[in-house]
Amino acid sequence: MDGITRVFATGWRGPTVRALNGITLRIEEGEVVGLVGANGSGKSTLLKIILGVLAPTEGECRVFGVPSGRREARESVGFLPESPDFSPQLTGFELVCFHAQLGGMAGAGIRGRVDEVISGVGLTEARNRRVGTYSKGMRQRLGLAQALVTDPRLVILDEPASGLDFVAAEETARTIRALKARGRTVVFASHRPEQVEELCDRVLVLDQGRLVLEAAVAELVCARAPTALLVDPLPAETLGDLRAWLRVRGVEFLGVERSRRGLAQAIWSRWDGRGGEGVERP
């Protein structure tokens, strides 16, 4: 992406709005990149330009070496919009099948692939139900299924966890991790920095259409941060010995902080979201 600027006109002879301003960046194949920014910072506009549904006013965007918008570029891309609301009259299977056919798939193998991807997002039992009966989380997963059905090399997700409960958000995170494990490139916009930290190799921060920060997540999180040493258990006498030992070696001891797991992690460590019998009480 080289020098991308996008200007929108607001109404007839109205003032123009510069949604993107001279964005230059390169995303490597196999990377998971998070796009962070406030509302109106230009995230969705940037994603639409990568998709090729919006032309930049200035600059050039290429997807795997091909100008975005060309058929070859679009064949390599899958897209999940923010909070998609698919036609309630169609079944999940029909919808994913339609997108598979639009993506160029044909022949006998199409049903198998559609079933596979529907199963991958956990909608097998609901595949023949009309989308109108789906919950918001199920619609989001269906959106993910249509984006992945052609097995694209680049997956673009606009706020994939927007409005989802933590079970559905964790399912989405699992899907993104699986895509990364298979070497797919993922670009997703998010309002949640903790999600970007958990899933992404690199983060891009947009502010008023400008790219204000571009860094590897690991570098950004660890830079100038104290190192934590996790131990379990830590009796009082051991702590005294440890402080003395560290002091001798010139390491500054900053304090003791009890490590806590987040509630979502704690629930997920006990229950994987796939059901079970009985009530578990610690």
Partner 1 sequence: MKRPPFSPRRAGLIAGYTFREAVRQRLLVTLCLVAAVTVGGTLFLRELNFGSSELKFITDLGLGALTFFGAILAIIAPAQLFFSDLEHQTMLTVLAKPVSRTEFIVGKFGGVLLLLAVYCGAMTALVAGLLAGYQTGAIAARMDGPGLGSTVFLSGVAVCGLVTWLKLGMVAALTLGVASYARSGGFAMMAGVVALLACELQYLARDFYGQMTTPWARAGVWMLGLALPDFEAFNVSGRVAAGESLSPGQLGGLATYALAYMAVFAGLAVYGFRHREL
Amino acid making up residue 260: R
Give the residue from 221, 174, 200 showing the smallest Cα distance to 36: 200
Among 34, 42, 52, 92, binds partner 1 (CB under 8 A): 52
2 binds partner 1, rule: CB under 8 A = no
Among 27, 114, 138, 146, binds partner 1 (CB under 8 A): 146
Q: What is the largest CA-CA distance in the chain?
A: 76
Q: How far is the CB of 90 from partner 1 (least distance, A)?
A: 6
207 binds partner 1, rule: CB under 8 A = no
The residues, any chain, with a CB within 8 Å of residue 192's CB and separated by 6 or more, are 161
The answer to whether the CB of 25 falls within 8 A of the CB of 50 is no
CA dihedral 106→107→109→113, nearest 10 degrees, is 30
Which one, 32 or 77, has the nearer CB to partner 1?
Answer: 77
Per-residue contact track with partner 1, 113 to 132, x per CB under 8 A?
-----------------x--
The beta strand positions in 24-142, using DSSP E, are 32-37, 58-60, 62-63, 66-67, 77-80
The residues, any chain, with a CB within 8 Å of residue 38's CB and separated by 6 or more, are 207
Which one, 41 or 150, has the nearer CB to partner 1?
Answer: 150
Among 31, 75, 115, 207, binds partner 1 (CB under 8 A): 75
Among 20, 79, 117, 185, binds partner 1 (CB under 8 A): 79
Which one, 42 or 103, has the nearer CB to partner 1?
Answer: 103
Q: How far is the CB of 200 from partner 1 (least distance, A)?
A: 21
Q: Phi/psi of residue 36, each to 5°? A: -115, 145
Which one, 60 or 272, has the nearer CB to partner 1?
Answer: 60
Inter-helix orientation angle 136-148/166-181, to 10°: 10
Residues lying near partner 1 in the complex (CB under 8 A) are found at: 8, 48, 51-55, 67-71, 74-75, 77-87, 89-90, 94, 98-99, 101-104, 130, 143, 146-147, 150, 156
